[in-house]
Amino acid sequence: MIDQTALPTSLRHVRCTTPEGVADAIKTMVIRGAPAIGVAAAMGVALAATGSEARTKEELTRDLENAAALLRSTRPTAVNLFWGIDRVLSRVQAADSVPGAKRRIVAEVKRMEEEDVETNRKLGAVGADLLEDGDTVLTQCNAGALATVGYGTALGVIRAAKERGKTVSVLVPETRPALQGSRLTAFELLTDGIDCRIIPDTAVGYMMSRGRVNKVIVGADRITRDGFVFNKIGTYQEAVLASRHGVPFYPAAPRSTFDLARSNAEVTIEERGFDEVVMVRGKRIAPKGVPVSNPAFDVTPPELVTAIVTDRGLIRQPVVKSIPRVIS
Ligand code: MRU
């Protein structure tokens, strides 16, 4: 996998050969983004399978469950992580032998890898219809190729619009504290020759008030059955400001990001370490001993959403009613 902590300064790759290695890469955000960690976690389970010395299916299941528990404990908010793990685990039951189960698991993760890119292309085609030539789109964090296996969700929509000959500019909030916007989204868009401009997170309201944003398109880590959108911290304030200024707000997410089993109150928001907030480039910028909160995600209620872009089509208002019709 690409080491996303090193971008854009250097393009380094990390090779994971054990589920522990994958779990560590997810936890430390070497790999991040909901669809990417879903497929990576599934590959972690596949590594547990290929590395297992189990002689019976029961022994193999025990090895896989141990790896799955470790991988599940890495990050709590993106539902794709749990979806990916459960999907590969479900392949064991139908197998009639240990080698058969291993083959099925490996085949399944390869399918997931291919499907992810196809899904994003479908989603991009749905979303590209919403963009007009000359639009400036505000995003948040990185919901691009790096956050998926390829092509991206929110950035997939922008890529698809470009492929159709539309000229679209992107406003990229830096996305403190891990800077996925200024490091990763800017890197991707520049590489693809898509017009973009980094702004401080604190400039979002000003840009909207000056009419400099036509649409907001963001990714999602989980969309619950009651229509709440969990995404990178800072997304909710974009949604509130978009509503204030009459700017359409579109989350873009594949089927694997929907959690139809839960409502918003049942989801854990990840709290990350305080060092991400008080340290900048290895240097402490806040007084020692000051308390810090570092929630990694926030929650946008359905009434602030204009529509949700998915690979199965557009989920329009009322989104709570439309989700089961489009998604299940
Ligand atoms: O903490 P991160 O970088 O994993 O958070 C990523 C996001 O919030 C993305 O917007 C989301 O996962 C969608 S990625 C297609």
> Is any ligand 1 atom within 6 A of the Cβ of residue 141?
yes
Backbone angles phi, psi at 136, to 5 degrees: -110, 125
Question: Which atom of ligand 1 is nearest to 270's Cα?
Answer: 1
- pLDDT value of position 216: 99
Testing ligand 1's pocket by substitution, the residue of 121, 176, 231 carrying the most ligand atoms inside 8 A of its CB is: 231
CA–centroid distance, residue 300 to ligand 1 (Å): 14
Query: For helices 79-93 and 34-50, what crossing angle results, to 10°?
Result: 30
Tens digits of pLDDT across the chain (328 residues): 999 999 999 999 999 999 999 999 999 999 999 999 999 999 999 999 999 999 999 999 999 999 999 999 999 999 999 999 999 999 999 899 999 999 999 999 999 999 999 999 999 999 999 999 999 999 999 999 999 999 999 999 999 999 999 999 999 999 999 999 999 999 999 999 999 999 999 999 999 999 999 999 999 999 999 999 999 999 999 999 999 999 999 999 999 999 999 999 999 999 999 999 999 878 999 999 999 999 999 999 999 999 999 999 999 999 999 999 999 8
pLDDT confidence of residue 328? 84
Catalytic residues: 221
Q: CB neighbours of 12 closer than 8 A, spacing ≥ 6?
A: 2, 3, 6
Q: Is 34 in the pocket of ligand 1 (CB under 6 A)?
A: yes
Mutation choice for ligand 1 from 180, 218, 308, CB with most ligand atoms inside 8 A: 180
Q: Is 232 close to ligand 1, i.e. is its CB under 6 Å away?
A: yes
Q: Is the CB of 217 under 6 A from ligand 1?
A: no
Q: What angle do CA 234, 40, 58 make, to 5 degrees?
A: 130
> Residue 276, exposed/middle/buried by CB under 10 A (0-12, 13-18, 19+)?
middle
103 CA → ligand 1 middle, Å: 31
Which ligand 1 atom is nearest residue 296's CA?
Answer: 1
Residue position matching structure tokens 């196809």: 118
Helix (H) or strand (E) holding 247: none
| Residue 143 in contact with ligand 1 by CB distance below 6 A | yes
What pLDDT, on a 0 to 100 scale, did the predictor assign at position 281? 78
Bridge partners (DSSP) of residue 313 are 310
String of b and e for 194-220 (b: at least 16 CB within 10 Å)? Answer: bebebbebeebeebbeeeebbbbbbbb
Give me the helices (H) in the chain, please: 19-27, 34-50, 57-72, 79-93, 98-128, 154-163, 180, 186-191, 204-209, 235-245, 275-278, 319-327
Structure tokens belonging to residue 61: 């299941």
The DSSP secondary structure of 56-109, one letter per residue, reads SHHHHHHHHHHHHHHHHTS-SS-HHHHHHHHHHHHHHHT-SSHHHHHHHHHHHH
Give the atom of ligand 1 at the shortest distance from the alpha carbon of 140: 10
| Residue 78 CB–ligand 1 contact under 6 Å | yes
- 80, 138, 141: residue to mutate for ligand 1 pocket, most atoms within 8 A of CB: 141
8 CA distance to ligand 1 middle (Å) = 17
Which candidate, 326, 322, 309, 307, places its Cα nearest to that of 249? 307
- Per the CB < 8 A criterion, the answer to whether 112 and 133 are in contact is no
pLDDT given for residue 272 in this prediction: 97
Please report the atom of ligand 1 found closest to the CA of residue 34.
Answer: 12
Residue 219, ligand 1, Cβ within 6 A? yes
Cα–ligand 1 centroid distance for 62 (angstroms)? 31
Ligand 1 contact via 222 beta carbon (within 6 Å): no
Does the pTM of the predicted model rise above 0.95? Answer: yes
Q: In sequence order, what are the residues at sequence separation of 6 or more whose Cβ sits closer than 8 angstroms to the Cβ of residue 106?
A: 46, 49, 50
Rg, the chain, Cα only: 20
